[in-house]
Structure 1
Amino acid sequence: MFTRGRIALSVLAVSALTLVGCASGDEDAGTTAATTAAETTTTTTAEAVDAAEGVTFTEGVVRAKGTDKEMTGIFGTFTNNTDEEINVVGFDADFEGASFELHEVVDGVMQMKPGGFVIPAGETYELAPGGDHMMIMDYVDEIPAGDVVDITVELSDGSTIDVEDLPVRTMNPGDENYNQDGGLMGHESGVQEQEQEQSGMEEQN
């Protein structure tokens, strides 16, 4: 009887140890998974912060406009101080009712920039009249010379860059074509005029 009892106790002890071992293993697995998830989140956040902090916008300027025009441009230079390619996909500003677009000028005609501005690692990207630029659209109020403008630049990884106190200055047009109403060609009327010119050439031929 003593021997059987001893064997039974031994079996129970082994079973208890096995259960404790399993519970400990589950706890360790749960802790490991939680730690890995936290590390992944931290890494992703750090990458977004690094991308945003690694890009600067200098020599920025906003072209002044009156109430006779509904659009104007923003120019300056992006510098990518990281070792990765940076993609600027949009921007925003505090102009109620306005829309904001990234543009390029091709053969004197303004159009939206497909894919945004891609800044190679360690290089600069210039926004200039007659070339690539940021555009404030559909804004009827005046943006007078002497004011300053704050913008938020959006990157493809979801991070943003706050650019403050861009000076508003009176600037001559670049190589863009302007209509009589002050709008830039290529955004509706410019395309229509090009189509009309093409149609006229075909009729002559």
Structure 2
Amino acid sequence: MKKFSPVLSTTAIAGLLLAGCASDDQAEAVDDHAVEGEIFAVEDPWVRATEVIMETDHDHSMTGAFVHLTNVSGEDQTIVGAHAEVAELVELHEVIDDGGVNVMQEKEGGFPLAGEQRYELNPGEDHIMLMDLAEEIQPGDVIDITLEVATGETQTIEFVAKDFVGAQENYGDLDHHDDETHSET
């Protein structure tokens, strides 16, 4: 049986005590898991992992990305677009009630955030849609998505892939074109 060195144990305890002396600001940032960028503070960025549903004969595989954003830029902002290397097409989407059925569609005008406002992208609500995926996204994969605001400024956010079942919105027969118009059925 190995014996633990009292010096090592004392060092470990001292480290824990010092960690407990962090400032309230540091503790809040750690507790909230927020990362502050120049435009947005970012909380809980994640993307829905794809399953084995990516069929070889179907090139329109898609998934959603979700995050809670707080505008820290000091100015009103509107997210007007997004880009991700893993997807051929990235759009800002909303989910609307169409006669009792949740239907997803592109969000006209983007996502507006007044100064200091929080905006949540959640399953079954506003979200970022990644379409025509280049590869399957596995749980734990990290996907970089760059958000663009109306001023042309950008902020890249790391999204972690996780399994998720829920928010069963209807994707319909999305017909996306290069002219950025599409129809929903």
TM-score, normalised on structure 2?
0.66
Aligned residues: 133
Matched, 1:172 2:162: no
Given candidates 84, 95, 103, the residue that maps to 1:93 is 84
Partner of 1:149: 143
> Does the C-alpha gap of structure 1 residues 186 and 77 become closer, same or farther in structure 2, counting only changes over 3 Å?
farther
Counterpart residue type for residue 116 of structure 1: G
- Given that residues 49 and 63 in structure 2 are in contact (C-alpha distance below 8 angstroms), is that contact kept between their aligned partners in structure 1? yes
Q: Tell me, which stretches of 5 or more residues in structure 1 are unaligned?
A: 1-51, 178-183, 193-205
Partner of 1:105: 95
Counterpart residue type for residue 66 of structure 2: F
Measured against aligned partners, the alpha-carbon deviations of 1:9-61 in whole angstroms (never above 9, x if no partner) come to: xxxxxxxxxxxxxxxxxxxxxxxxxxxxxxxxxxxxxxxxxxx7132222110
- The alignment's C-alpha RMSD in Å is 2.1
Q: Which consecutive segments of 4 or more residues in structure 1 shift more than 3 A?
A: none
Mapped partners of 2:105, 2:51: distance in 1: 22
Matched, 1:75 2:82: no
* Identical-pair percentage: 39
Mapped partners of 1:142, 1:168: distance in 2: 11
Mapped partners of 2:143, 2:165: distance in 1: 19
- Given that residues 110 and 186 in structure 1 are in contact (C-alpha distance below 8 angstroms), is that contact kept between their aligned partners in structure 2? no
Instruction: Name the structure with the higher strand share.
Output: 2
Measured against aligned partners, the alpha-carbon deviations of 1:87-125 in whole angstroms (never above 9, x if no partner) come to: 0011111126x2100000001000000011001221100
Measured against aligned partners, the alpha-carbon deviations of 1:151-192 in whole angstroms (never above 9, x if no partner) come to: 11111101100213x210000131412xxxxxx22625x833
Counterpart residue type for residue 102 of structure 1: L
Partner of 2:133: 139
Mapped partners of 2:152, 2:184: distance in 1: 32
Q: Tell me, which stretches of 5 or more residues in structure 2 are unaligned?
A: 1-36, 55-60, 176-182
Counterpart residue type for residue 78 of structure 2: N
Which structure has the larger Rg? 1
**Residue 78 of structure 2 aligns to a residue in which SS?**
strand
